[in-house]
Amino acid sequence: MNRYMRVRYLVSFILVFQLNSAFADQWLYINPLKPDEFLSIETDPDLIGMFDVRENAKYCEPSSEYICIESTEFQFHIPRNTLEHDKSWNIKDVKYQVAFKKDIMLFGIMDTIYYIDQFGLDHKITFLYSTSRGLVGVGGVSENGSAIFLLDVKCGYGAQSNCAE
């Protein structure tokens, strides 16, 4: 498939995905350096995936003290109401630590973003998290390379219910 066809396929996929996002709980995070690489988070059915590979995922209930995603390849746990006070926490032998927080302009919106490092798996992951907009970015480094995935819309997984307003 030539580059033109790949770009056309990707644009079609994104448009269909964004139309579906209006009706379902789905979030797409795109690698800005390689737009054909993406991370998708979906509920109903509960799936998480990179590129065209998906796996089942488990999400924390709204009554849980954490906003979370658990799968065999991906773990994400953020304290629901205490992130301002919690600088580190451990869940299932995985350590999370707030590296720093910073007010930055991200996609034209000024926001306070927490940079949260995850340790304990075979690779290090950094989550970019906003208490109002939810998960806005995921970056990782492994033996095979590194990548960053950024949210393609305003509100990400774990966003407050009034985020879209």
Mean pLDDT for the stretch of residues 74-80: 92
Tokens 């995985």 -> residue: 94
pLDDT in tens, 133-146: 999 999 987 777 78
Please state, rounded to an integer, the average pLDDT across all residues of the chain.
Answer: 83
pLDDT in tens, 2-30: 444 443 444 434 433 443 344 348 999 99
Q: Where are the domains of the chain?
A: 3-151
Query: How far apart (Å, rounded) are the C-alpha atoms in residues 80 and 62?
Result: 9
Query: How far apart (Å, rounded) are the C-alpha atoms in residues 67 and 36?
Result: 28
| Reduced 3-state DSSP string for 41-69 | EEECCCEEEECCEEEECEECCCCCCEEEE
Looking at residue 152, its pLDDT comes to: 87
Looking at residue 122, its pLDDT comes to: 72
Neighbouring-strand partners of residue 48 = 41, 55
Residues 6+ apart with CB under 8 A from 46: 56, 57, 58, 59
